[in-house]
Amino acid sequence: MPALHALLLDFDGLLADYDHRIHLHQLAEAAQCSSTQVDTALRGEGLELAHARGELDGLQLLAALNQRLGSRLQAQHWHAARHAATRVRRDSVALLRQLRPGVQVAVLTNNGPLTRPVIEQLLPGTTVLCSAALGVRKPDPAAYIAACTTLRCAPACTLFVDHLFRNVQGARAAGLLADTAHHTQSLRKLLKRHQLL
């Protein structure tokens, strides 16, 4: 087994719990409309996916939302809604402070750039790589190659952990060591197995 120099982690579902209903509700309150209207615009019309793909930046996403909803949503509304909908798994995050020296840690997420500052605030000091900035989404193997290139770490020396097996499969296809974890206990066992703790 090669010595690992980088740990690449999923965010939602591994390091945090996310409730999309709360996010929609908070945005709807700020936009003075219904959660269903916000959901239809974000998911039904593909705005959220376009944002995650990098086809719409933050300002463009908000402008498109405001046009459809007749609202005046700003980045601060999105950030507040995302904060309200996100609960960090503190025990899992605490494990990252116990890693052996010299291990680079980063989050690889399919969230769009509007959410990136929220993740950075919730995980201070952790590099956050978003699919929009990389130009490709998990589970496409190219996403993991792009992440490793950004971190300047060889795929064979990088461990990727996600709660979704399809994302793990994509990472393995890219040459990374990869496995699933669903809670703190399974993440701890995985990190110990790879001699990262």
Residue-range domains of the chain with CATH: 6-17+87-193 (3.40.50.1000), 18-85 (1.10.150)
| Average of per-residue pLDDT across 90-111 | 95
For 124-165, the DSSP string reads TT-EEEEHHHHT--TTSHHHHHHHHHHHT--GGGEEEEES-H
Structure confidence at residue 83 (pLDDT): 97
Beta partners for 8?
106, 160
Residues 78-98 pLDDT 10s: 999 999 999 999 999 999 999
Number of CB atoms found within 10 A of residue 133's CB: 13
Task: Give the closest residue to 115 by CA, choosing from 57, 45, 187, 31.
Answer: 57
> Per-residue pLDDT for 2 more than 80?
no
Average pLDDT over residues 126-149: 95
pLDDT at 33: 97
Coil/strand/helix, residue 58: helix
Q: What average pLDDT is seen over the chain?
A: 96
Average pLDDT over residues 72-79: 98
Confidence check: pLDDT of 8 > 80? yes
Average pLDDT over residues 133-141: 94
Structure confidence by residue, pLDDT tens digits, 22-43: 999 999 999 999 999 999 999 9
Q: What is the mean pLDDT of residues 126-153?
A: 95
